[in-house]
Chains A and B, each alone.
Chain A
Amino acid sequence: MLGWGALALAGSLSGCVEAVPQDVIEAVENIDRDLMELRAAEFSPNDYTRFAHQWMALKSRVQADEDLIRWPWEPNDLEIALRQLQEEGSHTVARLTKERESLRRSAEDKIARVEDRFRMMILQVSAIDSRLVLGQKPVETDLLMKQAHAFYEQGRYDRSLDASDRAAQNLATQAAVLSSELGRYANRDRISRWQEMAKDTVTWSRIHRTSAIVISKADRVLTLYRNGQKVLAYPVRLGFNGIREKRYQGDGATPEGRYRISSKRGQGQTQFYRALVLDYPNEDDRRRYRFGRKTGQIPTSRAIGGQIEIHGVENELMAQTLGCVMLDNPKMVLLYDRVDKGTPVTIVGALHEQNSVALTLAALDDRREET
């Protein structure tokens, strides 16, 4: 009787034991699914490869062991290994979820910071009319930021970060270009020389008891002196690349130097309402031009240019000139009537250290580290 009971117990126990419980297999399969959803194979290939290798090794054992019947007291190494993989996999999923979220936040944060800096740079550069100094760089930055957004939307945060990083580098290059091209506006010696030039012009006006004009490019202001006294100051518009130092014909820059009015063109003699033609290029301009040609800074196909004028407005909607100094027509009339052929016109970059260009360069430099 006892013998039959023992036999029945052993039989029922051995018959109920599965080789590997289905729940543990499903749990590992779920972990695999979670890792795939996390794009672990792309985002953290080493982690996923390790998991996949272990999973495939155990899976092959599961498939080979599936018809095996075990005694209940026999240790099931395969189940132990699967439970271990389940535990390790769960940790990996938790860690990668955290890391991925952190990467997502980094990408989001980087996009926001670079875009903010880019926006600020556009505003600052636009305020000092130096967009053209940057050439194709702003568009490159814009394209990189669009890419950073696209990769972010696709969940490719590493690529998004890479694009934002390159955009940030591009912005740093732009700041460096501005600093190199417009650095003279922040150069104390250069500003002193400009101040000296302006002072000489005012002194000349006082000594010769006549008119003289000083134009500050950074301030975009034309000041008329009479007998050494300031008579009027008008806002002006410059060339489309006016903030730069004029180097050759067609560069859109407004020249800096000491000039004189070589001729006056009244109504009907100019398309720009009234015009005061300057004697650009002077000897300094020619010397700089020759040097630029010699050193290859100026393309050989480019001439030195000319016809630089202080003139009125042909089209009210026009914001910039090709290198001239433009005044509103009512102000142009007042100026025109107060100057003569031979009146000195001194055009300088800036008259004080805290000029708009220097302040912009300093602001850009401050923000360079932020991205």
Chain B
Amino acid sequence: MDKRFAMLPIICALLILTACAKPPREQIEAAEQAIKEAQASGASTYVPDEYAKIEGTLAALKKEETDQEGKFALFRDYGKVEQLAINAKSEAERLKTEATKKKEEAKAAALQAQQVAQEAVKTTLELVAKAPVGKDRAALESIKADAEALKASLNQVQMAIDTADYPTAQTKAKAIHEKSQAVSQEIEAALAKIGRGKPSAAKKK
């Protein structure tokens, strides 16, 4: 009988130790990884408010984990931590998909605008090339400088695309397209004007 009572504290200690809850490390790490991936996919740029919230959830999760760790082992409950981790992971995965989609849309829009701008500049340069050589060319010199500037600006669009700055690439490309069309109209007007004059042979000046 004495021997059985003597075992009681040991059994209790064992019970306490086995009942002691542990943080859901695996779920927390999975949530952290999912948030990192969402960030890498551009979530902080393309869905910034939702990304800030997911970071807030992660911070709340960590605080809850710290709060639980500060409690007496028997009273620790990581259920909320686990639930937050599961929610955070699933939300981060959604954000990753959403950000990837938005990024792809932005990229597609930038590439489309770039192509339109390239074609417009090509048309402008072709018009410049059509201009008569020699004396009559003089009137087109400043337009030619504009066309060359537009051609050079296309590199900036490519640079913005290369650095994944799609909004800048798109606005720049649209600006080039717009300006290029204006320059083309100017050239056509100039060509119509000087076309009435006889083209001159090139000569030393």
CB–CB B174/A323 < 8 A: no
* A240-B139, A314-B197, A314-B200 as given contacts; A53 in contact with B59, CB under 8 Å: yes
Q: Are B179 and A271 in contact (CB under 8 A)?
A: no
Q: Name the distance in Å between B184's Cβ and chain A's nearest Cβ.
A: 13
Assess whether B175 is in contact with A252, with CB atoms less than 8 Å apart: no
Q: Does A321 contact B (CB under 8 A)?
A: yes
| Bound: A52/B59 CA distance, A | 10
Q: Main SS of the interface on chain A?
A: helix
Contact B55 A49 (CB under 8 A): yes
* Interfacial chain B residues near A41, Cβ < 8 Å: 48-49, 51-52
Say yes or no: A140 contacts B59, CB within 8 Å: no
User: How far apart are the CA atoms of A150 and B168 in the complex, in Å?
Assistant: 10
- Stretch among A56-64, A70-78, A257-265 lining the B interface: A56-64
Measured CB to CB, the closest approach of chain A to B120, in angstroms, equals 13
User: Nearest Cβ in chain B — how far from A261, in angstroms?
Assistant: 17
Query: Quick check: is B64 within 8 A (CB to CB) of the other chain?
Result: yes
Cβ contact within 8 Å between B138 and A143: no
List residues of chain A with CB under 8 Å of any chain B CB. Answer: 32, 35-36, 40-42, 45, 48-49, 52-57, 59-60, 64, 131-132, 135-140, 142-144, 146-147, 150-151, 154, 156, 159, 239-241, 249-250, 252, 271, 303, 305-308, 314-324
CB pair A306–B56 under 8 Å, yes or no, is: no
For A137, the chain B residues whose CB sits under 8 A away are: 149
Pick the contact of A52: B55, B139, B194 (CB < 8 A).
B55
For the complex of A and B, list the 8 residue pairs with the smallest distance between their C-beta atoms, beginning with the closest. A315-B197, A56-B56, A136-B149, A146-B175, A139-B149, A41-B48, A53-B56, A52-B52
Q: How far is the CB of B110 from chain A (nearest CB, A)?
A: 13
A279 to B136, CA, bound (A): 24
Residue B176 at the chain A interface, CB threshold 8 Å:
yes
Cβ–Cβ contact A322 & B135, under 8 A: yes
B84 at interface, CB cutoff 8 A:
yes
Which residues of A have CB within 8 Å of B204?
A: 249, 303, 305-307
Partner of A40, one of B49, B55, B141, B203: B49
Interface pair A147/B139, CB less than 8 Å apart: no
Within 8 Å CB of A151, what residues of B? 167, 171
Q: Which of A32, A147, A316 has the most CB of B within 10 A?
A: A147
Question: In this complex, what residue of B is CB-closest to A147?
Answer: B171
B80 on interface, CB distance cutoff 8 Å: yes
Cα A235 to Cα B174 in complex, Å, equals 42
Known pairs A41-B48, A139-B146; A308 contacts B57 (CB<8 A): no
Choose one: A60, A239, A314, A321; the contact of B64 (CB below 8 Å): A60
